[in-house]
């Protein structure tokens, strides 16, 4: 076979010319450099895609001690001030709106006084504790606390005087603060999730805002509720965001950190509390106070750092596949709220009984516990009493309730055991199955009225990120038959 070398040479030269011309438009001389195989140059609109460092603060409210919560806020501000940031965003729940308007205003002054110590500008989105009225009613028409929040924060961000959602720019990056409380007292997880959605009015505003800022280096969206838990309602918002240079959507509300998902290049993240109530258990199961630093370059998150305020140990985002199960276990442990009333222990003639009309030794039972997850979980029970004056003469799990009994205080429970239903919003335990565990108390040395009997219940889930546990201490107090 003969080859026309001239034709081949001309064809190769022509293709090279086309390739070089294309490269010229993508990487014009003077704005690109090749080093180690990595191309550093302008982004789609010719701007230098410099990164931006963003501090993130989580919830303060949803706690019984607001002063302690603001103490964590102060720690968070101190930690973030040393991080060479460009801006700080707060994901909501700065205030406790169930208080009087005068008290809420005083809280605002205290909290913003702490935040103003930041060396960079800070912005926030409204949370449920910032705007919900004191009386609980889903889709409430009482907008008094919302109006108060708008008047307070509106002195800093005038757009909020008209509407609780707004946007701003920092170093060529665009930030969008969405409002997740258009239906008050609605919740994407623990309330009527169908009410928790972006209204048409806010959606059209978002559409216009994104179009206006389409040439931004990158876009960050933040809001309080993780509204994507109601994906059917959130889907149109996500599709809109995916058509623009949105790198991430950040929310709070859950009081625990969570690496949620990446869809169409957009990263969804939930940050934990910065003073609000946290879970009882492992750090990676939500038992930690923290702030975060997110670094964004263009339309991509290149780093997400969690800074623990509870200790100095490293902290990482826990994947949602684990935290959804941890949350279900937390709901189960919450069913122990009436442990004392369902386990009365009384002192009668030096003997512990369950009722003054009984002569049998007192028993204590743990009933509303089941496994709401898809895997075996470990159950550990520990007992203690003040001064060791009360002991346990016998204890054990009810036959058939555990897949494997390790000893009288430990067992492995099969998936979905003792559960009516378990989903992303709620769990129902089958208490009709009777006690999971029961113990007969031993008076030992003569106990006294007022002695506290403590029971620690620990549930451990073998998660993707390792063993994650939650625990709950419940107690009952020795009463008197006299």
Pick 482 or 416 by higher pLDDT: 416
Asked if 322 contacts 468 with a C-beta cutoff of 8 angstroms, the reply is yes
How far apart are alpha carbons 56 and 274 in whole angstroms?
A: 10
pLDDT score for 49: 56
- CB of 123 closer than 8 Å to CB of 116: no
What are the tens digits of pLDDT across the range 101-113? 999 999 999 999 9
Reported confidence tier of residue 389, pLDDT bands at 50, 70, 90: confident
Beta bridge partners of 270: 251, 258
Q: Which domains does the chain have, with CATH numbers?
A: 51-318 (3.60.21.10), 330-480 (2.60.40)
Query: What average pLDDT does this structure show over 420-432?
Result: 94
Average pLDDT over residues 115-127: 98
Tens-digit pLDDT profile for residues 151-188 = 999 999 999 999 999 999 999 999 999 999 999 999 99
Which pLDDT does position 482 carry in this prediction?
A: 74
State residue 28's pLDDT score.
Answer: 37
- Residue 43's pLDDT is 41
Burial 26-42 (b: 16+ CB within 10 A, else e): ebeeeeeeeeeeeeeee
* pLDDT grade for 326, boundaries at 50, 70 and 90: very high
Report the mean per-residue pLDDT for the chain. Answer: 90
**Distinct helix (H) and strand (E) counts, the chain:** 9, 25
- The arithmetic mean of pLDDT across residues 290-307, rounded, is 97
Q: What confidence tens digit (pLDDT) does each residue in 18-60 have?
A: 343 333 333 333 332 222 222 223 343 444 459 999 999 999 9
Dihedral sign (CA 30, 34, 40, 45): positive
Average pLDDT over residues 123-145: 97
Q: Identify which has the larger pLDDT, 226 or 189.
A: 226
């Amino acid at each position: 076979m003969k080859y026309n070398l001239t034709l081949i040479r001309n064809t190769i030269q022509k293709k090279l010319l086309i390739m070089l011309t294309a490269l010229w438009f993508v990487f014009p001389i003077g704005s690109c450099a090749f080093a180690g195989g990595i191309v550093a140059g302008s982004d789609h609109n010719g701007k230098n895609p410099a990164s931006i460092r963003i501090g993130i603060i989580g919830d303060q409210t949803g706690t019984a001690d607001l002063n302690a919560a603001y103490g964590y806020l102060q720690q968070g501000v101190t930690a973030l001030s040393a991080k060479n940031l460009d801006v700080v965003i707060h994901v909501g729940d700065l205030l406790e709106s169930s208080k009087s308007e005068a008290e809420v205003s005083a809280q605002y002054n205290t909290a913003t006084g702490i935040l103003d110590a930041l060396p960079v500008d800070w912005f926030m989105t409204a949370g449920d504790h910032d705007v919900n009225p004191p009386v609980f009613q889903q889709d409430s028409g009482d907008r008094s606390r919302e109006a108060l929040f708008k008047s307070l924060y509106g002195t800093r961000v005038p757009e909020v005087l008209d509407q609780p959602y707004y946007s701003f720019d920092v170093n060529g990056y665009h930030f969008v603060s969405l409002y997740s409380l258009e239906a008050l007292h609605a919740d994407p997880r623990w309330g009527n999730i169908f009410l928790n959605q972006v209204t048409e009015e806010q959606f059209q505003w978002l559409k216009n805002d994104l179009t206006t800022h389409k040439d931004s280096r990158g876009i960050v969206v933040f809001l309080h509720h993780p509204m994507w838990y109601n994906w059917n309602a959130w889907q149109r918002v996500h599709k809109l965001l995916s058509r623009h240079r949105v790198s991430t959507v950040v929310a709070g509300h859950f009081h625990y950190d969570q690496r949620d998902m990446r869809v169409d290049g957009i990263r969804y993240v939930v940050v934990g509390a910065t003073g609000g109530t946290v879970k009882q258990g492992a750090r990676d199961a939500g038992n930690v106070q923290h702030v975060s630093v997110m670094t964004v370059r263009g339309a991509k998150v290149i780093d997400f750092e969690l800074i623990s305020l509870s200790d100095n140990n490293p902290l990482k985002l826990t994947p949602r596949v684990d935290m959804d199960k941890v949350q279900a276990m937390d709901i189960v442990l919450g069913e122990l709220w009436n442990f004392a009333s369902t386990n009365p222990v009384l002192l009668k003639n030096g003997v512990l009984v369950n009722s003054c009309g009984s002569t049998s030794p007192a028993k204590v039972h743990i009933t509303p516990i089941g496994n709401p997850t898809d895997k075996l979980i470990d159950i550990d029970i520990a007992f203690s009493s003040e001064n060791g004056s009360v002991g346990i003469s016998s204890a054990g799990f009810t036959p058939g309730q555990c897949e494997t009994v390790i000893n009288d205080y430990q067992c492995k429970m099969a998936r979905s055991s003792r559960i009516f239903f378990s989903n992303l919003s709620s769990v129902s335990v089958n208490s009709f199955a009777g006690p999971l565990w029961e113990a007969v108390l031993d008076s030992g040395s003569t106990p006294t009225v007022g002695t506290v009997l403590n029971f620690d219940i620990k549930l451990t889930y073998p998660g993707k990120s390792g063993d994650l546990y939650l625990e709950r201490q419940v107690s009952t107090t020795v009463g008197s038959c006299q």
